[in-house]
Amino acid sequence: MANRDGIITKEELNLILLLDNSYSMVNGRIAQLNSAIPTLKNSLMKVANDECVDLKVRIIAFSDEAVWKIGTIEQGEDITSVVWRDLDVVGGTSTPKAIREANKALHKRYLGAHALRPVVILVTDGNCNLNEHDDYLEAIEEMKKSLAGNTGKEKVTRIAIGVEGYNRNELEEFASVGIISDQQQPLIFEVDKATDLGRVINWVTVTSMVSSIMDDDDDIIDLGDPDWGDDDDDIL
């Protein structure tokens, strides 16, 4: 977009990844998650270049606590500058803490003057801690109200990726309603084998970024038909 002086100003697109590194992600799951991020960086750099957007990334890892790994509340990391350091597994699954950290960043003053609809992607393999489910629901409600203003219209796209043993009910509680394969449904993508996690994360993230650019003014985001690449019949 051009400003009044004719200078081209890129629209800003914000991505927040909430990554489960609780102990249940041990072995193949955390290894696949760690290997997915560098590949994802390359894919997102292409999106930013092709679509001429300023793509900012924030990543929060969560177990007993929620920890900022990429970016901060106030500033997302430019996709070209992202450097990934592998996660270790530890502790329980305090998903509401991760959501609340993300909520702190979902304010206009932190998302850029020309920000497109932000996307938050939750990647988890299990239930949140048993005593935190009510807090989990409250944190999601707070996220729904982020950026809504007086219109009350949700302005954040929420996507859930469930890894082996996921709780479908909890994923449905988190996910926005969108369109997948021409059907209106929660934006949930299920991974039944840890080895498929990287391909699913890559497709879901890249597709949601492009959709946010194309459908920024729409209430319901359209992710089209999943295409995981080779052996896709084994994934869903």
| Residue range 181-223, pLDDT digits in tens | 889 999 999 998 888 999 999 999 999 999 988 876 667 788 8
Q: How far apart are CA 53 and CA 85, in angstroms?
A: 25
User: What letters, b where the CB count within 10 A reaches 16 and e where it falls short, cover 92-108?
Assistant: bbbbbbbbbbbbebbee
Q: What is the torsional sign of CA 152, 153, 156, 157? A: positive
DSSP class per residue in 68-120: EEES-SS-PEEGGG---------S---HHHHHHHHHHH-SHHHH-TTB---EE
Residue 171 maps to a domain: yes
User: Do residues 88 and 20 touch, judged by C-beta distance below 8 A?
Assistant: no
pLDDT of residue 210: 92
In this predicted structure, the answer to whether residue 173 has a pLDDT above a threshold of 90 is yes
State the chain's mean pLDDT as an integer: 88
CATH number at residue 57: 3.40.50.410
Q: Is residue 3 part of a domain?
A: no
Instruction: Answer yes or no: are the C-beta atoms of 47 and 80 closer than 8 Å.
Output: no
Whether residue 150 lies inside any domain: the answer is yes
CB-based contact 107:81 (threshold 8 Å): no
- What is the residue type of 16? I
Residue 202 lies in a domain: yes
Mean pLDDT over 21-35 rounds to: 92
- Token pair of 105, please? 């960043």
Q: What is residue 188's predicted lDDT score, i.e. its pLDDT?
A: 95
DSSP string, 8-65: B-PEEEEEEEEEE-SGGGTTHHHHHHHHHHHHHHHHHHHHHHHHTEEEEEEEEEESSS
The torsion angles phi and psi of 60, rounded to 5 degrees, stand at -120, 125
Q: Is residue 26 part of a domain?
A: yes
As a residue count, the chain comes to 236
The verdict on residue 212 lying in a domain is yes
Closest to 171 in 3D by CA, of 198, 150, 191 = 191
Residue 93 contacts residue 133 (beta carbons within 8 Å): no
- Reported as a single tens digit per residue, the pLDDT across 87-126 is 999 999 999 999 999 999 999 889 977 789 999 999 998 8
Question: Domain range holding 109?
Answer: 11-234
CB count in 10 Å sphere of residue 219: 11
Residue 6 lies in a domain: no
Q: Considering all CA atoms of the chain, what is the largest pairwise distance in Å, rounded to the nearest integer?
A: 55
Cβ-based neighbours of 138, under 8 Å, separated by 6 or more: 96
How many domains does the chain contain in total? 1
Residue 83 in domain:
yes
Q: What is the pLDDT of residues 147-158, one digit of tens each?
A: 876 666 788 999
Dihedral (CA of 102, 44, 48, 187) sign: negative
Q: How sure is the predictor about 224, in pLDDT bands with cuts at 50, 70 and 90?
A: confident
